[in-house]
Amino acid sequence: MAMGESATNILIHLVGGVALLIWAVRLVRTGAMRAFGSQLRQALQSFTRNRFAAFGSGVAVTMVLQSSTATTLLVSSFAGQALIVPAMALAVLLGANLGTALAAFVISMDLGWLWGLCVAVGVAMYLSSEAMERPRNIGRVLVGIGLILLSLIELNAAAAPLAQSPTFRVVLAAMGSEPLLGILAAIAATWLVHSSIAIILLVATFAASGLFPPATALTLVIGANLGNAVIPVLDQLGAPAAQRRAAVGNLLTRLILALAVLPFVGPLSAWLIGFSSSEARLAIEFHVVLNVVGALVFLPFVGPISALVERIMPGKEDKTQAVTPRYLDPNALDSPTEALAGAMREALRLGDRVEGMLRDTMTLLEKDELKLSRAIAEADDGVDTIHESIKLYLVKVSRNELSEEESRRLFEIITLITNLEHIGDIIDKNLRELAEKKIRKRFAFSPEGLAEIRDFHHRVASALALALNVFATRDLVLARQLFADKAAMRDAERRATDSHFQRLRSGRPESIETSAIHLDIIRDLKRIHGHVVSIAYPILESANELRESRLRETKAAAAQREMPTVLVPAPHSGG
């Protein structure tokens, strides 16, 4: 019974230590990304003029982030946007491989005494800097480092008794006699926790406790290296070929290196022990040596390797490429300010797409081109795709701790994309179908009726352009101007309707046959204008001006009711 309880306690401590290690590594990465994310991105983009600078930037950025996967995804997104050439992207990833090995090397040093200091200073920085994001996130990094060191102490304590377990030794002996099994186990574990640093430190800790021989430790290190290269490839399976090539090239180099080294892990481990500072650190030092060798071997050939990968993955440029989000960087999610900036750019891109649909609708009404109608329908499909992508991206951003300003900006973006999606639906489901009905029945607007629709359409298009400027600049003067435009649009609708009925009374045949279509178009354009004006609401609300504007509108409406025969719009009214 006592042995069973002891085994249970060991297992609990072991599982808890592994979980703490995984979470602490993620805490460091999240804090570093939030504190230095923009500078790290700029460094990756700036220091890629030659392969050596690119390699160095990969090493530095990965040591800060504690994750070569994060660096790989960043570089892949740059490559997908043609911000970095493929050869330099691969050079950065070779540096990232070494950076993650050096990070593990530094953390694994005998610094157990440091964990308390890191946690104490980190917590103090986090709690004393509530108004300043960077010190808080640096505090996160320090807490994460302290917890990594603490988890290694806990793992050492839990692993030592396991070395005496005959059952555990049989399992590990089987893994040592079947290198392929060890490789696959390490790949699976690395993919599962999404951190090669955590797995390498775990392997080193177990090896130092005598749980398996040096050769098995080296085999597992090779597997963890492969697993770390597999992660970004799998994470980007649905991405364009240009975005995936750097990660695939990096996986190819690691696979070649693994195949070259794996047959010699036995004699290699015996030889490396003579140079190692201690047998306990053999796995960590081998990890560094493996990635140094990888850099020396493959850095001169980043050009040919990138060209080979491009031939293997040529990519297909098709129409779906046009509706793929460009600025929703998943690697920026840990930095809400940057993530919201990307979402804002994507929202403005969505606005440009809806503007194009609105412009094409007027052309369709004038020129009766059915081909253009199909293009508008396809454009609305793209609007729905981008809208959904932005919405899901913002949901992920909202899981972070957002400041009041960030929360306000997130709400503004949601308001914009929601109204743009509604506008796209009105254009596609209503205006486009009205235009097709006109074409099928061979109707024609009267010159006056077409001029009225064109003028009304111009007003709505101008308001949409103004709304996008309001969103981008958050300018209160422009927001007030957009809101006040509601009264002018109401009067324009009334004048267009009155003019149309006058033509009906005069018996104009064109006006009679197109009457229903004409009035529906004016009504739908007015609906679009209502959605356009709604874009300004969050900006006005944040300045506490919307309630005042509605009060003025109510007073103006009351004054008009008292003087029903006088149709003079109030100069400052809205609504």
pLDDT digits (tens, 9 = 90+) for 368-382: 777 888 889 888 989
Using the predicted structure, report yes or no on whether residue 112 has a pLDDT greater than 70. no
Mean pLDDT of 120-141: 82
Lowest mean pLDDT among 258-267, 462-471, 487-496: 487-496
pLDDT score of 504:
74
pLDDT score of 350:
93
| CA–CA gap between residue 417 and residue 103 (Å, rounded) | 41
Using the predicted structure, report yes or no on whether residue 550 has a pLDDT greater than 80. no
Whether 105 contacts 288, CB under 8 Å: yes
pLDDT score of 556:
47
pLDDT score of 304:
93
Mean pLDDT of 327-355: 86
pLDDT score of 169:
63
Cα–Cα distances (Å) from 159 to 110, 153, 154, 165, in that order, read: 17, 10, 9, 10
Domain locations along the chain? 9-160+170-314, 326-562
| CA–CA gap between residue 351 and residue 345 (Å, rounded) | 10
Please tell me which residue, 458 or 552, carries the higher pLDDT value: 458
Percent of the chain whose pLDDT exceeds 90 = 22
Using the predicted structure, report yes or no on whether residue 162 has a pLDDT greater than 70. no
424-444, pLDDT tens digit by residue?
999 999 988 888 888 888 888
Q: What is the DSSP letter of 314?
A: -
pLDDT score of 24:
83
pLDDT score of 71:
81
Mean pLDDT of 323-343: 82
What number of other Cβ atoms are within 10 A of residue 571's Cβ? 8
Computed from CA positions of residues 45, 49, 51, 56, in that sequence, does the dihedral angle turn out positive or negative?
negative
**Beta strands per DSSP E along 354-498:** none
Confidence grade of residue 414 (pLDDT, cut at 50, 70, 90) = very high
Confidence grade of residue 75 (pLDDT, cut at 50, 70, 90) = confident
| CA–CA gap between residue 444 and residue 560 (Å, rounded) | 37
| CA–CA gap between residue 325 and residue 330 (Å, rounded) | 11
CATH class in words for 326-562: mainly alpha
235-279, pLDDT tens digit by residue?
788 777 888 899 999 999 999 999 999 888 888 877 877 676 666
Nearest to 247 by CA among 94, 375, 387: 94
pLDDT score of 295:
93
Confidence grade of residue 422 (pLDDT, cut at 50, 70, 90) = very high
- Residue 318 neighbours by CB under 8 Å, 6+ apart: none
Upper half-sphere CA count for residue 14 (Cβ side, 13 Å): 17
Residue that has been written with the tokens 């099994």 in this structure: 181
Using the predicted structure, report yes or no on whether residue 561 has a pLDDT greater than 50. no
Confidence grade of residue 4 (pLDDT, cut at 50, 70, 90) = very low
| CA–CA gap between residue 379 and residue 563 (Å, rounded) | 46
Confidence grade of residue 167 (pLDDT, cut at 50, 70, 90) = low
Confidence grade of residue 565 (pLDDT, cut at 50, 70, 90) = very low
Q: Across the chain, what does the average pLDDT equal? A: 81
Which of 11-25, 160-174, 403-417 has the highest mean predicted lDDT (pLDDT)?
403-417
Whether 553 contacts 573, CB under 8 Å: yes
Using the predicted structure, report yes or no on whether residue 29 has a pLDDT greater than 50. yes
Alpha carbon of residue 383 to chain centroid: 18
pLDDT score of 372:
86
Please tell me which residue, 324 or 563, carries the higher pLDDT value: 324
Helix axes 370-397, 404-426, angle to 10 degrees: 160
Please tell me which residue, 327 or 152, carries the higher pLDDT value: 327
Record the tokens describing residue 399, joined without a space: 């899981």
3-state secondary structure 194-208: CCHHHHHHHHHHHHH
Confidence grade of residue 131 (pLDDT, cut at 50, 70, 90) = low
Confidence grade of residue 544 (pLDDT, cut at 50, 70, 90) = confident
Which of 135-139, 366-370, 469-473, 488-492 has the highest mean predicted lDDT (pLDDT)?
469-473
Helix ranges restricted to H, 323-399 = 336-367, 370-397
Please tell me which residue, 121 or 78, carries the higher pLDDT value: 121
Using the predicted structure, report yes or no on whether residue 554 has a pLDDT greater than 50. no
| CA–CA gap between residue 552 and residue 88 (Å, rounded) | 60
Whether 500 contacts 515, CB under 8 Å: yes
pLDDT score of 255:
94
Mean pLDDT of 553-567: 42
Using the predicted structure, report yes or no on whether residue 79 has a pLDDT greater than 70. yes
Confidence grade of residue 316 (pLDDT, cut at 50, 70, 90) = low
3-state secondary structure 124-138: HHHHHCCCCHHHHHH
Nearest to 552 by CA among 569, 537, 564: 569
pLDDT score of 104:
85
What number of other Cβ atoms are within 10 A of residue 149's Cβ? 25
| CA–CA gap between residue 498 and residue 366 (Å, rounded) | 22
Mean pLDDT of 396-404: 84
Model pTM?
0.62
Alpha carbon of residue 262 to chain centroid: 37
Mean pLDDT of 150-179: 68
Percent of the chain whose pLDDT exceeds 70 = 84
pLDDT score of 560:
45
Please tell me which residue, 1 or 154, carries the higher pLDDT value: 154
pLDDT score of 278:
67
| CA–CA gap between residue 347 and residue 363 (Å, rounded) | 25
